[in-house]
Amino acid sequence: MIKKKGHILAIESSCDETASAVVEYGGGFNIKSNIIASQIELHKIFGGVVPEIASRKHIECITQVTDEALSAAGVTFSDIDAVAVTYTPGLVGALLVGVGYAKSLALALGKPLIAVNHIEGHICSNYISSPDLKPPFVCLVASGGHSSVVSVEDYTKFKVLASTRDDAPGEAFDKIARVLGLGYPGGPAISEAAKAGNSDAYTFPRVSFDGSPDFSFSGVKTAVINLIHNFEQKGEEIPAADIAASFQQAVCEVLAQRLISCAKAAEVRNVALAGGVSSNTLLRSMAGNMAQVEGMGFHCPPPILCTDNAAMIAVRGFFDLERGIFAGSDLNAVASKGL
């Protein structure tokens, strides 16, 4: 039987963020600490995440980040009831650092170990910012590595309604930002450049499939790159702001429309966003407006909880702690695993 109140220590290391958090459960979720050591500056010169570098940096940071999380929360290891950790999906070397560290902690402390799917963690971040939100609802998970619309049937039951057939939206943002010379990470760079641009300047493709709500972003990415190359071949100045705004408009429009259409088909009255791309202001605005037109409730975490963090892992871990579902010492990292 789970006690009424307690603390979960969570570890997240699926990509290039070394994160640790302490979340108090009982009568809702209280983030007592949420420490994130970002590697953006480290990978910026490469224009993307280098897996080997990411793994090595996680090894350097993970103990310090966890100690800081405990200190900021005002708790010690003896106050922790369970250790939750991301084990899938992600960069396998990066995941292994977090999994190995969490397994060691749980063993040394004699505490339960909880294995968390990173995508489910993103979805559960909505329970922090929207404490009244309850399943069923439909959630768009959009990030650098993932793009899917998920039916949240229960706190631990998920069904994928749509997913990308090629690129994830965050990956497309990174590629276009790189070609435009806007830097890394691409999402914030495109969003910033788009502020000075005209979103109607260019019409880029919005791909759809007969009988399927799946996404495809390779076409829009190719169309943008071809346009940029045309300007370069003619020796003309590239209208970066207009291209960024038009590209962002196309991607966000497709994401928001798929979310709402899937929710209507599932006959649910609440929709949500999750994942790093959900930090995009235009996407949040579009999805919120479309939901309002349909009379649906709209939920979206603040940007700090959209990007990779450990607080969301703790929240997802709570629902397994509540059910007594724990991982064993044989837990391993899994690079790719669906919901």
334: buried, middle or exposed (CB in 10 Å: 19+, 13-18, 0-12)?
Answer: middle
Query: Which residues are bridge partners to 117 per DSSP?
Result: 88
Contacting residues for 60 by C-beta, under 8 A, at least 6 apart: none
**Does residue 23 have a pLDDT over 70?**
yes
Range of the domain at 152: 135-300
**Cis peptide bond upstream of 136, omega within 30:** yes
- Interhelix angle 51-73/92-109, rounded to 10 degrees, is 30
* Closest alpha carbon to 123 in 81, 91, 154: 154
Do 163 and 294 belong together in one domain?
A: yes
Q: What pLDDT is recorded for position 3?
A: 65
Evaluate whether residue 331 is within a structural domain.
no
**Does residue 216 have a pLDDT over 90?**
yes
Q: State the Cα angle at 73 between 68 and 74, rounded to 5°.
A: 100
Model pLDDT for residues 306-327, shown as the tens digit of each residue: 999 999 999 999 999 999 999 9
Do 65 and 181 belong together in one domain?
A: no
Do 208 and 90 belong together in one domain?
A: no
Do 193 and 142 belong together in one domain?
A: yes
In which band, very low, low, confident or very high, does the pLDDT at 2 lie, cut at 50, 70 and 90? low
Do 30 and 107 belong together in one domain?
A: yes
Evaluate whether residue 48 is within a structural domain.
yes
* Closest alpha carbon to 49 in 188, 148, 186: 186
Q: What pLDDT is recorded for position 145?
A: 79
Do 105 and 144 belong together in one domain?
A: no
**Does residue 114 have a pLDDT over 70?**
yes
Query: Which residues are bridge partners to 152 per DSSP?
Result: 137, 158
Do 165 and 277 belong together in one domain?
A: yes
Domain count, the chain: 2
Do 218 and 74 belong together in one domain?
A: no
Q: pTM for the whole thing?
A: 0.95
